[in-house]
Amino acid sequence: MINTNEGKESEKLAEFYQEAFRVYDRDREPPQVEVSFYPYIGINHTIRIRNGRVYVRIAEVCRQMPDDGQRALAFILVAKLYRRRVPKRARDVYSGYATNAEIRDRAAANKRVRGRKIVTTDKGEFFDLAAIFDRLNAEYFDGALPKPTLTWSARKTYRILGHHDATHDTIVVSRSLDSKDTPKFVVDYIVFHEMLHIHHPTIHHNGRRYNHTAAFRADEEKFDHFEAAEKWIEQNVRRLKRNAKKK
Contact positions vs Zn ion (CB under 5 A): 1
Are 153 and 175 in contact, with CB atoms under 8 Å apart?
A: yes
Are 213 and 200 in contact, with CB atoms under 8 Å apart?
A: yes
**Count of positions (residues) in the chain:** 247
Q: How far is the CB of 219 from Zn ion (least distance, A)?
A: 12
* Cβ-based nearer residue to Zn ion, 71 or 163: 163
Q: Nearest to residue 185, comparing CAs of 143, 233, 147, 218?
A: 233
* Cβ-based nearer residue to Zn ion, 1 or 78: 1
Q: How far is the CB of 194 from Zn ion (least distance, A)?
A: 7
Rounded-to-integer distance, Cα 123 and Cα 130, Å: 7
Are 73 and 65 in contact, with CB atoms under 8 Å apart?
A: yes
* Cβ-based nearer residue to Zn ion, 1 or 56: 1
* Cβ-based nearer residue to Zn ion, 59 or 78: 59
Q: How far is the CB of 154 from Zn ion (least distance, A)?
A: 20
* Cβ-based nearer residue to Zn ion, 3 or 10: 3
Q: How far is the CB of 197 from Zn ion (least distance, A)?
A: 6
- Name the residue with the smallest CB distance to Zn ion: 1
The b/e string for 38-64 (b: 16+ C-beta within 10 A; e otherwise) is: bbbbbbbbbbeeeeeebbbbbbbbbbe
